[in-house]
Structure 1
Amino acid sequence: MSTLGPVVGCRPGSVELHPPGSAPACRPHLWERSRIEWHSRDGGDPLAILSAFLIDAGLPVSDLSRSRTVTDSVCGAAILLAPPSAVASPAPSVPDLVAVVFAHSPSPGVRPGDHPAARPGRPAPGQDFPASPADPAPSRVGLWTPSWTTAEHAAAVEAVRAAIARGDVYQANVVGHASAPLTGDPRTALARVAALPGARYGGVLEGADSAWWVACASPETLVEVSDGRAVTRPIKGTRPATGQGRAELLASAKERAEHIMIVDLERNDLGRVARTGTVRVDDLFAIRRWSRLWQAESTVSAHLAPGVGLRELLAAVWPGGSVTGAPKLAAVDVVSALEPVGRGPSMGAAGWIGHTPDGRLHVDLGLTIRTVAVADGLAHVWAGGGIVWDSDPAAEVAEAAAKTAPIKAALTA
């Protein structure tokens, strides 16, 4: 699908919406140039489809192992990539792959009203703003309905512990879901979600003809690439953002062991596409804050082997280890049999592929934790946690609730 029009929300005085990961300096000038929306039912390899689309748009992602220059005709592309799933998504209208290419101005001769999907945006030099609509009416969120009960969630935790006891996995990440009716224009509510403190990948993507919306408030880097160096920042380990919570997280042997398992997994993932001997852990178990929570984060980096492009890189690191488990494929099999609904656009990837101020290609994709989708009159949220042998089911249920609480609060504020 291809569209042409200004990005929603860039008109001064309107709701502040922007794609996840986009450069703040570029946001007032973004014009959508083209997009692709793909569902798994369409067939094909999403990573190959994404790579080909971006290359055709002028983003040289076929080889990320060296510095590449981006043409002046494109600012960058917003990316949304859902994880593969054997279970149906509760939000089937949201595509499994979205890529939206932006420029800093419309194509020659294009005016804001030339495309039916066009919405008010910052005009190109010499143009005037079209008539500005009133600010959107506030949305209303109804009661949340979980896709499983707390008892069923706790039973899933026990099932993972049993899988660990059998030797099937060392750790698996179990994710739950809840939905609520949402009426009215969701933009203001989603802008609040994207602005949550600590949201490194805060932003909003809108479907063609506003058929769906996804807001991301993720703090976690799936993969970032500049000048041939790839970085991932796995997050694993959560406590309330209090002095006591921080001390508990630092002292928890369980959380540290769980975290180091995922760091080792990420080292292995990057090692599949790295130059020999370049994989390193730059930072281990650093405590960061997201909204009302402390979280433990590490930094793993590597220099990419010659010829490694976006397709090969994502095949190695996506979906992220912190939302799957170890070993990754076995963990995915275990949780797919336990989770009540599919993960939809959550636990996948969202971010920006663009360029640095001096024109060099820059890839920055976050992992879509702390994410909400709106489609077909419902808001959807997902959350979970990594399960190891000494996980306590009640504590895991409480941790998932703590992760969704700021999202729900932002939607209903």
Structure 2
Amino acid sequence: MMENGPDGVEALPLTRVDAPAAPHGCRDRLVERDRLEWRLADGGDPAALAEAFLAGHGLAADDLSRPAAHHLDGPCGAALYVSAAAGAVMAAGHPGAPTPAPALPDLAVVVYDHAATPAPPAPPPGGGWWIGPWTPSWTDRQHADAVAAVRAAIGRGDVYQVNLVGHAAAPYTGDPRPALARLARLPGARYGGTLHGPGWSIGCASPETLIALHAGRLVTRPIKGTRPATAAGRRDLLASTKERAEHIMIVDLERNDLARVAATGSVTVDELFAVRRWCDLWQAESTVSAACADGLGLADLLRAVCPGGSVTGAPKLAALDLVAACEPVGRGAGMGALGWIGPGRLDLGLTIRTAAADGHLLHGWAGGGITWDSDPDAEVAEAAAKARPVRAALAGGRTRAHR
């Protein structure tokens, strides 16, 4: 476990903060005060560690229902990152196979203070950026066989649905941060942003809200169901009984997760199966909200919602066991959480459409939900379609604008 505590704000460089959900009016006036990085091998409870670390830096997170105001003379907030494995530990589930990117932490909390002057403009990216070929951690045949294994488990009654995720890595040369920033700007990225640490970087283009809290209201927006962003694709998604059943199953799971930390009887489905666009894909999204229970702390909230139901399956713990048995490598930065916590607000995106860099490789993850009606070859094709815009952005290519 690593903590970094400078003697004073003036000891650290002032840079523009691009973490997802960071306050826009403060992003060019923030300086890192301190950070916590935690890995599975460190042991302990990552949810409790995050809450205690924030409290030690003037960001009380033991009662998120308590109103709090954002002041320029105090800490602005903190970027918060939780890997899929850390989320599984928080839920008392199986953390999965070993990560393919051990340089990345499983938990990162980066606290920022306000500075009096804005950050200088970022220097233009240097040349020499190159990405080699992407090498998957499983073949299409192995992916399809895993889909068949999940269908068999559903047939036995072990699970109702499981999200399977594949990983791929590519060598690179140059500075990965501009490429990850390009990824973060993809159309439809509600949680577009980046986070960096010593020897690692994460870029996120996620459209999905894992959990948000503002003015005492909890919100999650599960996404499940994908088609090409064409008129025919939209019609097909709306008409698909398989996609709708898969989606509603996850909405029910998210309702149950929220009910664990909500005021009794306050959970509502505000919007069901709304079709929205991310790059060249249609996706189905619902909105579930609830009133925050009195005295709810960050640790309990993370334990309730991590890892996200749309990237695990139902029942969640049984799905995590099957994921660990089927996926050859860990999910690393994918399928976790990344966002911001500050006075009076929390906003975490689910790290789908996410890539990470260590000192040698770029890493990406993509997958989809498997039900009894899933076709193995179609699931392999869907994962490839989700990965395609991410890889194009990292390589410097263009994707069509959101329309």
Q: Same fold (TM over 0.5)?
A: yes
1:330 deviates by: 0.4
Corresponding residue number in structure 2 for 1:400? 383
What letter matches 1:269 in structure 2?
D
Q: Which residue pairs with 2:216 in the alignment?
A: 228
Partner of 1:198: 188
How is 1:325-340 mapped onto 2 (pairs within 5 angstroms)? 325-340=313-328
Summarize deviations over 1:143-172 as a string: whole Å, max 9, x none: 000000000000000000000000000000
- Deviation for aligned residue 1:227: 2.2
Amino acid of the residue matched to residue 386 of structure 2?
K
Aligned length: 379
Match of 1:148 among 131, 134, 138: 138
Q: 1:239 aligns with which of 227, 240, 260?
A: 227
Counterpart for residue 88 of structure 2: none
Letter in 2 for 1:89: T
Query: How much has 1:122 moved relative to structure 2?
Result: 3.3
Q: Could you tell me how far 1:61 is from its partner in structure 2? A: 1.3
Match of residue 48 from structure 2:
48
**Matched ranges for 1:353-392 at <5 A:** 353-355=341-343, 361-392=344-375
Cα deviation 1:262-310 (Å, max 9, x = unaligned): 0000000111111111011000001111111111000011112211111
Q: Which amino acid aligns with 1:2?
A: N
| Secondary structure of 1:25 counterpart | helix
Answer yes or no: is the 8 Å Cα contact 2:83–2:333 preserved in 1.
yes
Q: Deviations over 1:294-351 (max 9, x none)?
A: 1100001111221111111111111000000000000110111000100011101100
Aligned match for 1:87, one of 97, 100, 125? 97
**Shift in Å at residue 65 of structure 1?**
2.3
Counterparts of 1:13-412 in structure 2, within 5 Å, are: 18-70=18-70, 72-84=73-85, 85-105=95-115, 122-123=118-119, 135-208=125-198, 211-355=199-343, 361-412=344-395
1:217 offset after TM fit, Å? 0.6
SS at 2:155's partner residue? helix
Q: What amino acid maps onto 1:86 in structure 2?
A: G
Identity %, equivalent residues: 61
**Could you tell me whether the CA contact under 8 Å between 2:96 and 2:323 is conserved in 1?**
no
Contact 2:125 2:178 in 1 (8 A): no
Structure 1 residues 54-63 or 337-346, which shifts more? 54-63
**Contact 2:144–2:376 (CA<8 Å) still a contact in 1?**
yes
Q: 1:134 to 1:235 in 2, by over 3 A?
A: closer
Name the counterpart of 2:4. Answer: 2
Are residues 133 and 294 of structure 1, via their aligned partners in 2, closer, same or farther at CA, if it must alter by over 3 Å?
closer
> How does the TM-score come out when normalised to structure 2?
0.91
Partner of 1:62, secondary structure, is coil
Q: Which segment drifts farther, 185-194 or 153-162? A: 185-194
Q: Contact 1:283 / 1:298 at 8 angstroms: preserved in 2?
A: yes
Partner letter of residue 21 of structure 1?
A
Give the C-alpha shift of residue 138 in structure 1. 4.3
Cα RMSD for the two superposed structures:
1.6
Q: What is the letter of the counterpart of residue 122 of structure 1?
A: P
Q: Which runs of 5+ in 1 are unaligned?
A: 11-16, 107-120, 124-128, 356-360
Tell me if the contact between 2:355 and 2:362 (Cα under 8 Å) persists in the aligned partners: yes
SS at match of 2:206: coil
Name the SS for the 2:56 alignment partner.
Answer: helix
